[in-house]
Amino acid sequence: MADNFKDNAELQSINLFAVQEAYKTIRTNVTLSIIKEGCKTIVVTSSLPSEGKTTTSLNLSISLAQAYKKVLLIDCDLRKSKMHKVLGIPNVPGLTNVISGLETLENSARETKYSGLHVLTAGIQVPNPSEVLSSEAMFALLEEMKASYDYIILDTPPLNIVADALPLSRVADGTLIVVKQNQTTHIDLSKAIESLEFVGGKIAGIILNGVETTDNRYYKYKYRLKAYQ
């Protein structure tokens, strides 16, 4: 039992190291791309649930913050919000509280243990997530936040299930699509890309998120940059 625990702990530290190293590469590529295009707001999305959107948006945000950038990570998955659970912080007040005007951004954007990274959790559950995310108040908030942060990373629900991410992609400077290795099909991805292109979302790149099974198990991320047209 004790040995198992030790093995798991070792595996975890290998995983974390691999994840952070991989994200440094992603960060370099994303940073180059967004600096070139003046991107500040980046939507992280994917076609289906559990492909790694929340994991990717958090790790990307941490990496950017570690590069001495001021980053605001927003949990825009108002239906199955998870960022607060991953970070072990309360969900309220969060985005929906700020949008409704009942809370200020200053009170709601929480500092994290990562210097430079603030997190705005999803907030109190609302009956109309898509309306909230496509509201003028939401867009105004994003504009307002641009003055205070270098990057605003938006974690969103899956594109092929709900349309919540689309209005955000339309106004964001770039959208990153997460693809899960051995899980996301070509049809799934094509459908997601079609939806994004339909609303004029700029696809900044595709992140391949997968687990290497032949060698040591470790997180594997690849980033493929698609030039803005």
């210097």: which residue's tokens?
115
Q: Please select the residue that binds ligand ADP; options are 33, 41, 55, 160, rule is CB under 6 A.
A: 55
Cα gap 37→134, rounded to integer Å: 24
> Please, which residue, 51 or 103, has the CB nearer to ligand ADP?
51
Structure-token pair, residue 3: 């040995």
**107: three-class secondary structure by DSSP:** helix
Q: Is 84 in the site for ligand ADP (CB under 6 A)?
A: no
Q: Which stretch binds Mg ion (CB under 5 A): 47-55, 88-96, 146-154, 209-217?
A: 47-55
Q: Please select the residue that binds ligand ADP; options are 69, 70, 79, 82, rule is CB under 6 A.
A: 82
Structure-token pair, residue 71: 């980053």
Q: Is 52 in the site for ligand ADP (CB under 6 A)?
A: yes
Q: Is 180 in the site for Mg ion (CB under 5 A)?
A: no
Q: Is 219 in the site for ligand ADP (CB under 6 A)?
A: yes
Q: Please select the residue that binds Mg ion; options are 45, 47, 54, 169, rule is CB under 5 A.
A: 54
Q: Please select the residue that binds ligand ADP; options are 211, 212, 213, 224, rule is CB under 6 A.
A: 211
Cα gap 4→39, rounded to integer Å: 45
Q: Are 40 and 34 in contact (CB under 8 A)?
A: yes
Residue type, 32: L
For residue 95, give the nearest of 86, 84, 85 by alpha carbon.
84
Kindly list the distances between the CA atom of residue 14 and the CA atoms of 7, 10, 21, 158, 221, in Å, as whole numbers in the listed order.
11, 6, 11, 29, 14
Q: Is 209 in the site for ligand ADP (CB under 6 A)?
A: yes
Q: Which stretch binds ligand ADP (CB under 6 A): 23-31, 139-147, 166-174, 204-212?
A: 204-212
71-75 β-sheet, strand order: 110-111, 117-120, 71-75, 151-155, 41-46, 174-180, 203-212, 218-225
Q: Which stretch binds Mg ion (CB under 5 A): 4-12, 24-32, 51-59, 174-182?
A: 51-59
Q: Is 81 in the site for Mg ion (CB under 5 A)?
A: no
Cα gap 105→103, rounded to integer Å: 7
Q: Which does 55 bind (CB under 5 to 8 A by kind): ligand ADP, Mg ion, none?
A: ligand ADP
Q: Which does 222 bind (CB under 5 to 8 A by kind): ligand ADP, Mg ion, none?
A: none
**111: three-class secondary structure by DSSP:** strand
Chain contacts with ligand ADP (rule: CB under 6 A): 46, 49-55, 82, 209-211, 219
Chain contacts with Mg ion (rule: CB under 5 A): 53-54
